[in-house]
Structure 1
Amino acid sequence: MNDDLFRLVYYSRNHIRGDADTFDAHVGDILARSRTNNTRDGITGALLFNRGCFAQVLEGPLATVEAAFERIQQDERHGDVSLLALDPIAARSFPNWAMGFVGASDVDAGRFAGVGASSGFDPSRLSGDEIHTLLRDLTIEEEAA
């Protein structure tokens, strides 16, 4: 297996239906499974949710990143899954995050309100680099807090 590092960036539409508690339970399940699988597979990254969309960065060996992306595409909670970038990288941007999650709290919502205002947080209007930078900056702030 090739151990070179790759970064995969995608977005998807939220297909979770129900009230806030149902949504929170599904996101909790997504995060728990991601953290378990990613720790096992040597993947790091971060997930952002806002206005019905998910955006995520995955970093790790190509085969494991592609396998994780395949699982995401098969997950009924994600719809219209769109790959924005898959590129080799020299170093990880999220070395301490098996799967960081930003966007759930009011504080996080305030942190990227400008992005939401400028794009409606329609990830299809953002590039893979823009989503990567947004998530990297938010996780750096989270680590500093």
Structure 2
Amino acid sequence: MPLCKLLYTSRSAETSPRRTDQIAQIARQSALRNAKAGITGSLVYVEDSFIQVLEGPQAEVERVFESICCDFRHREIKLIDLVPVPTRQFAEWHMGFLASSEDDPLYKELEQVRYLVSVNARTAAEHIRNLMGR
């Protein structure tokens, strides 16, 4: 079954001081669903923005993305990249999660990812992968 990789960005429709904790819980729940569907990837949350990479069988990746598009917790959803891939970049994570606030050393690196997404989606995905491996 051919694999694909999808990268999208969106903004959080909700804001609260505990938002990062809530999103981490959602990511844990998503990891369980993704494992059953053969999906791997990572979610980045920085300054109320989401950057997510999903990889797996194309039909499953598209199904997950469609459900994200219907999720009221997202706004301004933008599909950045959808490409066939020979192998998985995020094979170790059914849903990796990275988040940061301004006082966190990881913040600048996640801000770089936000910039890279608009310039080169594949480089952004590689950068996320490298950050996950730390």
- Cα distance change, pair 42–72 in 1 and its aligned pair in 2 (3 A): same
Report percent identity of matched pairs.
Answer: 31
How far apart are residue 104 of structure 1 and its match?
3.9
Q: Following superposition, which runs of at least 4 residues in structure 1 exceed 3 angstroms of deviation? A: 104-107, 121-124
1:94-133 correspondence runs (5 A)? 94-104=90-100, 109-114=104-109, 116=111, 121=114, 125-133=118-126
CA RMSD in angstroms comes to: 2.3
1:32 matched residue in structure 2: 28
- Cα distance change, pair 40–83 in 1 and its aligned pair in 2 (3 A): same
Higher strand residue share: 2
Structure 2, unaligned runs of 5 or more: none
- Cα distance change, pair 26–115 in 1 and its aligned pair in 2 (3 A): closer
Instruction: Count the aligned residue pairs.
Output: 134
- Cα distance change, pair 73–62 in 1 and its aligned pair in 2 (3 A): same
- Cα distance change, pair 123–29 in 1 and its aligned pair in 2 (3 A): farther
- Cα distance change, pair 97–69 in 1 and its aligned pair in 2 (3 A): same
CA distance in 2 between partners of 1:113 and 1:65 (Å): 29
Q: Contact 1:6–1:59 at 8 Å: present in 2 too?
A: yes
- Cα distance change, pair 114–65 in 1 and its aligned pair in 2 (3 A): closer
CA distance in 2 between partners of 1:102 and 1:66 (Å): 22
- Cα distance change, pair 70–140 in 1 and its aligned pair in 2 (3 A): same
Report the AA paired with residue 139 of structure 1.
Answer: M
Structure 1, unaligned runs of 5 or more: none
1:7 matched residue in structure 2: 5
Q: Contact 1:53–1:123 at 8 Å: present in 2 too?
A: no
- Cα distance change, pair 138–106 in 1 and its aligned pair in 2 (3 A): farther
How far apart are residue 127 of structure 1 and its match?
3.0
Higher helix residue share: 1
Report the AA paired with residue 82 of structure 2.
Answer: L
Q: Of 58, 66, 78, which aligns to 2:74? A: 78
How far apart are residue 131 of structure 1 and its match?
2.3
The alignment's TM-score, normalised by the length of structure 1, stands at 0.81
CA distance in 1 between partners of 2:14 and 2:100 (Å): 15
